[in-house]
Amino acid sequence: MTVPFAPIADYRCSPFVAPGSTSKRISRDVYRRGSGAPVVIIQELPRIGAEILRLADEFIARGFEVILLHLFGPLEKISMGGNLVRVFCMRNEFSLFESKRFSPVVDWLKALCQQAKAQGEPKGVGATRVITHTLPGKGRSVLTIDFVDEQGHPTQEALNEILAYFAAQLR
């Protein structure tokens, strides 16, 4: 079953430029849609594809502004073989971000979150894993590739928990 989603063309695209830790300015495209407390969705895959756009729709439907980052890779396409190294690099960036260490991408991401928070009156900005879920089988990409849109399915329950968490923390 194919679940419809809003295409990337429905998002407002603009570059976001911020200084990195080496004083070099970093610019990446940022896609925004929705209104309300901001949630930054950082994709692990080297693209903004259908799975990410479907997840964004869930947040938008519940009154959040979604901010998607185009850090690397093609838009709405996948080239896992060509982007395998980038995937491992992004996992390293996630670890740096979670441990409050520095890198050019982490510095840029922190500046983006500060800007998103300053633009409105939210309590904060939602980003990175907040709850760890272990599912049987592969189950690694709980909210995207491995997501099953069925009531009662563990991935649906994980999504509901995360949406409730962000609603409680950001509103």
Q: How many domains does the chain have?
A: 1
Task: Flag whether 52 is in a domain.
Answer: yes
Q: Which has more pLDDT, 127 or 20?
A: 20
Most confident by average pLDDT, 7-16, 63-72, 125-134, 138-147: 7-16
Region 132-150 average pLDDT: 67
Q: What is the DSSP string of 86-145?
A: HHHHHHHHHHHHHTT---HHHHHHHHHHHHHHHTS--S--B-S--S----SSS--STTTT
Q: Are strands 25-34 and 12-19 parallel, antiparallel or unpaired?
A: antiparallel
| Residues facing residue 31 across a β-bridge | 13, 68
Domain that holds residue 75: 8-132
- Is residue 92 predicted with pLDDT exceeding 80? no
pTM: 0.75
Lowest mean pLDDT among 46-50, 72-76, 120-124, 130-134: 130-134
Domain assignment present for residue 63? The answer is yes
Residue 84 included in any domain: yes
* Pairing between β-strand 64-70 and β-strand 25-34 as defined by DSSP bridges: antiparallel
What tens digit of pLDDT does each residue of 46-71 get?
678 888 899 999 999 999 999 998 87
CATH number of the CATH domain containing 119: 3.40.50.1820
